[in-house]
Amino acid sequence: MTGSELVLAASGWWFGSIILFIVWIAIALWPARVATRKGHSFFGYFLFSLVFFPAALIVALVVPNRRRVATV
């Protein structure tokens, strides 16, 4: 392997890692947004979903709504 091939291989690894990190952050936003719409902490659920995404999504979907529902 030449030096340029090693740089290309390393660049591919970094590119894949960056894409994976961006996808991880984007997926972690989902439970946080659900919880925010129900009146719960965005930041708290975002941190929770960074570590335990499936559990955070289930909890965000199951927790009761804290906001008042408008009656017509």
- Say which residue the tokens 């930041």 belong to: 43
State the pLDDT at residue 3: 53
Report how far residue 1's alpha carbon sits from residue 67's, in angstroms, rounded to the nearest whole number.
Answer: 61
Question: Using CB atoms within 10 A of its CB, is residue 16 exposed (0-12), middle (13-18) or buried (19+)?
Answer: exposed
**Global confidence as pTM:** 0.73
* Tens-digit pLDDT profile for residues 3-37: 555 555 556 677 788 889 999 999 999 999 999 99
Rounded Cα distance, 71 and 69, in Å: 6
Does position 53 have pLDDT exceeding 70, yes or no?
yes
Q: Give 67's pLDDT tier (boundaries 50, 70, 90).
A: confident
